[in-house]
Structure 1
Amino acid sequence: MKLLFRVFLISLLGVLFAQCIGVSKTFPEKRFFLIETTETKQLFAPPKPRTFLVKKVFISPRFEGKEFVYRKDNVVYESDFYNGFFIPPSHNFREEFSKSLIRSGNFEWDANLHTRLNITHFIELNLPQLYGDFRAKEPKAVIEFEVVIYEDKESIASPVFRKTYKQTVIIEKKDAESLVIGWNIALTQALSELNLDISKQLK
């Protein structure tokens, strides 16, 4: 009986001690986001009889993970464990990029979705920048990507189109939701410029 009383007393003291020092701690829930562009302006109706295949989407290793990245100082970057992409950012970017090409009318088919097509253009994408710039009082959403388009998968040394697009959008607050809104605006603007360039340059 004495042994049981001692065990009970020790357990009770442990609970009281934990409550006193506040061992129990709540953590914020993880949140997941997607970059989503607004409607793309239609440049051709009906669309051009072109098809494309996105062969590769390369994102700098600094930003390829699902966690958001914030630049806090010139040499200091920080990842956000509690806020990130719902799917890998390379997949998210590819999807929005492809939808924009179709909606603009620059292309009629996405060969990544329709496998029995005769492909007219092959595309490679490179994203060196995708982060929130939180160094100054006015935070910014930063996105930069390069588009390379070939007409023949065997002639990758001579692209028919190549250009880098960079957008920096001022956002309201230094938080994840504001950053995603900024990325949405930045990517929409960049893709609008891209589609206009493609409409003038591709055959």
Structure 2
Amino acid sequence: MKTLIRLILLAGLIFSLSQCFGVSKTFPEKKFYLIETGETKSIYSVPKPRTFVIRKVFISQRFEGKEFVYRKDNAVYESDYYNGFFIPPAHNFKEEFVRSLLKSGNFEWDASIHTRISVTHFIELSLTQMYGDFRTKEPKAVIEFEVVVYEDKDSVSSPVFRKTYKQIQSIEKKEPEALVLGWNLGLTSTFNELNLDLSQKLK
């Protein structure tokens, strides 16, 4: 009983001292971001009568969480608890990718939304890298992904298009907002390159 009373008195003393001397511990406010790519170049004035479904989006386990990842050394990666994605990065990436395909005119419909439309192409995405490279005084936004396109719903069939894209975009500061802006610029450029490739490869 005496021990309990002493503990209560000690806790009260610590609380009183913290109030008297203004001792308080504050934490940074959590911030959330979205990837929002720039305008996609229109390749066709009238969209091609093609439809697609994103069948699968794979993202490396290293980067699938909502927290931003920074590379601090060759073998050292850190996650940022206070800065991250508003929605899971795989979903955010998919939304921007779909928007780009439709804006380019390579496809007319996203058949996963318009379910009564028959599908002409199936697409699989693999996001393998997505981090801030903070190893040097010149930070960079890094993103790498593979796109595989099939004309047959059978995944055993050979793809009609397959390519890996990697973008390393220089950014001004080792800060979350600068990193997101770098990803936005890099993906805008990469999506335009991808759509041009698709316009030349797809029937």
Q: TM-score, normalised by structure 1?
A: 0.92
Aligned to 1:69: 69
CA distance in structure 1 between the partners assigned to 2:66 and 2:117 by the alignment: 32
Aligned to 2:30: 30
CA distance in structure 2 between the partners assigned to 1:84 and 1:78 by the alignment: 12
Is the 1:146–1:163 Cα contact (8 Å) retained in structure 2?
yes
Aligned letter for 1:156?
V
Cα deviation, residue 111, structure 1:
1.2
Aligned letter for 2:106?
N
Work out whether 1:18 is the aligned partner of 2:18: yes
Q: Deviations over 1:48-70 (max 9, x none)?
A: 00000000000000000000000
Is the 1:150–1:156 Cα contact (8 Å) retained in structure 2?
no
CA distance in structure 2 between the partners assigned to 1:19 and 1:12 by the alignment: 11
Work out whether 1:127 is the aligned partner of 2:127: yes
Is the 1:37–1:187 Cα contact (8 Å) retained in structure 2?
yes
- Ranges in structure 1 where 5+ consecutive residues have no aligned partner: 1-8
Is the 1:126–1:147 Cα contact (8 Å) retained in structure 2?
yes
Aligned letter for 1:61?
Q
1:36-115 pair list within 5 angstroms: 36-115=36-115
Q: Deviations over 1:118-162 (max 9, x none)?
A: 000000000110000000100000000000000011153300000
Cα deviation, residue 23, structure 1:
4.7
Q: Deviations over 1:152-177 (max 9, x none)?
A: 11153300000000000000000100
Aligned to 2:169: 169
Q: Deviations over 1:91-133 (max 9, x none)?
A: 0000000000000000000012111110000000001100000
Cα deviation, residue 24, structure 1:
1.6
SS in 1 for 2:187: helix
1:135-150 pair list within 5 angstroms: 135-150=135-150
Q: How many residues are aligned here?
A: 198
Q: TM-score, normalised by structure 2?
A: 0.92
SS in 2 for 1:57: strand
Aligned to 2:152: 152
Aligned letter for 2:70?
Y
Cα deviation, residue 200, structure 1:
0.6
Aligned letter for 1:73?
D
